[in-house]
């Protein structure tokens, strides 16, 4: 019996954010993948948005942790606590307390990493687990004709990984996964400001800068933003202005790595599929797709038409919802465990 029958929950377990969806209601939870932990009392204080607001502002003895790094589980215990809370929230009004769960995973992760995802879902209360590859879910969610024998390129830029895949005939023909994405852009901004202004800022501030005035193409200049941080020379609070073109320079390293991954994937794509891609172009999904000028940059570097998915942040979750509601997509699931 297919795992998608009966009570089923879909989870996009992301490095930056986690999205939980159901067959009937669609997306029901959207929370940052952050946990606040009290080391003295050995207990979790907050999860999700509440924990994210505490990042960089906690007193001694309390830490904020992102239990997923580079798209995979870095802290099994805290990921388990977070997942249990999500499942409990969704199942609060349900008669059946142990749902089947579909979890999205980066394409090409190791067996050990895959087993960690399986185990955490089972321990969190799942009665059965199936995995779906992230680029496949993103392609389905973006509305690409996955089941046709025609090549389409999906690029999903998340928090920890960028997934590049050529999908056709219901599966992945060629793929490339690099652990360079939104987080690396934030870290690059932190490092750039430290070197140029001798000011230290947190990654939350860097993320805000990226979202407010981040640009990666010379044609897009969003202006200036006032930034606050700690002056490394005096140790005192510091205020300065930073411009969009400086953020372009700051993010050039990770952005170029993503462009290289896209080009490397195209270079090993079979000629017949390349002919399709010349017509179908490249579809961008994930939070990185929303960085100003990114679509134009990809188009300039590949000389192919580039499109941003209608709901780039939700593509993976939307894909999982479609899989849960249509037996036509059963073939894209990897069923790994049933209890």
Query: What is the chain's pLDDT, residue by residue, as a tens digit (339 residues)?
Result: 344 556 789 999 889 999 999 988 999 999 999 999 998 888 899 999 999 998 888 888 899 999 998 888 889 999 999 988 888 888 875 555 688 899 998 887 888 888 898 989 999 888 889 999 999 999 999 999 888 889 999 999 999 899 999 999 878 899 999 999 999 999 999 999 999 999 999 988 999 999 999 989 888 778 899 999 999 999 999 999 999 999 999 999 999 999 999 999 999 999 999 999 999 999 999 999 999 999 999 999 999 999 999 999 999 999 999 999 887 777 778 765 554
Asked if 307 contacts 283 with a C-beta cutoff of 8 angstroms, the reply is yes
β-sheet bridge partners, residue 176: 164
Asked if 163 contacts 180 with a C-beta cutoff of 8 angstroms, the reply is no
- Helix 134-141 vs helix 315-325: crossing angle, to nearest 10: 80
* DSSP per-residue letters across 132-156: EEHHHHHHHHTT--TTSSS-EEEEE
CA distance 67 to 65: 6
CA distances to 164, 169, 183, 261, 298 from 174, rounded to whole Å, are 8, 12, 25, 12, 18
CA distance 25 to 13: 18
pLDDT on residue 314: 94
26: left (phi over 0), alpha (psi -120 to 50) or beta: left
* DSSP per-residue letters across 38-63: ETTTTEEEEETHHHHHTTT-PPTTEE
Asked if 9 contacts 99 with a C-beta cutoff of 8 angstroms, the reply is yes
β-sheet bridge partners, residue 284: 155, 308
CA distance 42 to 77: 12
* Burial label, 57 (beta-carbon count in 10 A; 0-12, 13-18, 19+): exposed
Three-state SS across 97-136?
A: CCCEEEEEECCCCCHHHHHHHHHHHHHCCCCEEEEEEHHH
Asked if 38 contacts 65 with a C-beta cutoff of 8 angstroms, the reply is no
Half-sphere exposure of 236 (CA within 13 A, CB side): 4
pLDDT on residue 252: 95
DSSP designation for 203:
H
Residue 250, Cβ neighbours under 10 Å: how many? Answer: 26
Query: 31: closest CA among 81, 93, 99?
Result: 81
pLDDT on residue 27: 94
pLDDT on residue 339: 44
pTM for this entry: 0.89
CA distance 182 to 67: 16
Q: Quick one: tokens of 334?
A: 């990897």
DSSP-derived pairing of the beta strands 333-338 and 224-231: unpaired
pLDDT on residue 309: 95
Query: 12: closest CA among 173, 197, 158?
Result: 158
Residues in the chain: 339
């Amino acid at each position: 019996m297919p795992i998608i029958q009966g009570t089923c929950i879909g989870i996009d377990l992301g490095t930056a954010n986690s999205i939980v969806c159901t067959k009937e209601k669609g997306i029901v939870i959207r929370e940052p993948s952050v946990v606040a932990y009290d080391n003295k009392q050995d207990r979790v204080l907050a999860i999700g948005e509440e924990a994210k607001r505490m990042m960089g502002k906690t007193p001694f003895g309390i830490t904020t942790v992102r239990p997923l790094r580079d798209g995979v589980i870095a802290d099994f215990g805290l990921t388990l606590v977070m997942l249990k809370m999500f499942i409990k929230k969704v199942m609060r009004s349900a008669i059946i307390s142990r749902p089947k769960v579909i979890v999205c995973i980066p394409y090409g992760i190791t067996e050990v990493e895959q087993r960690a995802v399986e185990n955490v879902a089972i321990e969190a209360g799942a009665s059965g687990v199936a995995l779906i590859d992230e680029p496949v879910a993103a392609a389905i969610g973006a509305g690409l004709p996955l089941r046709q024998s025609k090549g389409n390129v999906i690029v999903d830029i998340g928090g920890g990984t960028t997934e590049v895949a050529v999908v056709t005939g219901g599966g992945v023909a060629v793929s490339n996964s690099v652990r360079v994405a939104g987080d690396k852009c934030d870290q690059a901004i932190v490092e750039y400001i430290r070197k140029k202004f001798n000011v230290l800022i947190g990654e939350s501030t860097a993320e805000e800068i990226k979202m407010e005035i981040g640009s990666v193409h010379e044609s897009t200049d969003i202006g200036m933003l006032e930034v606050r941080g700690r002056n490394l020379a005096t140790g005192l609070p510091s205020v300065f202005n930073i411009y969009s073109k400086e953020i372009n320079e700051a993010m050039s390293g990770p952005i170029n790595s993503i462009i290289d991954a896209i080009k490397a994937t195209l270079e090993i794509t079979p000629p017949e599929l390349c002919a399709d891609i010349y017509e179908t172009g490249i579809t961008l999904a994930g939070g990185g797709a929303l960085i100003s000028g990114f679509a134009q940059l990809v188009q300039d570097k590949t000389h192919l038409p580039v499109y941003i998915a209608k709901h780039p942040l939700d593509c993976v979750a939307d894909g999982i919802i479609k899989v849960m509601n249509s037996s036509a997509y059963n073939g894209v699931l990897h069923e790994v465990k049933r209890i």
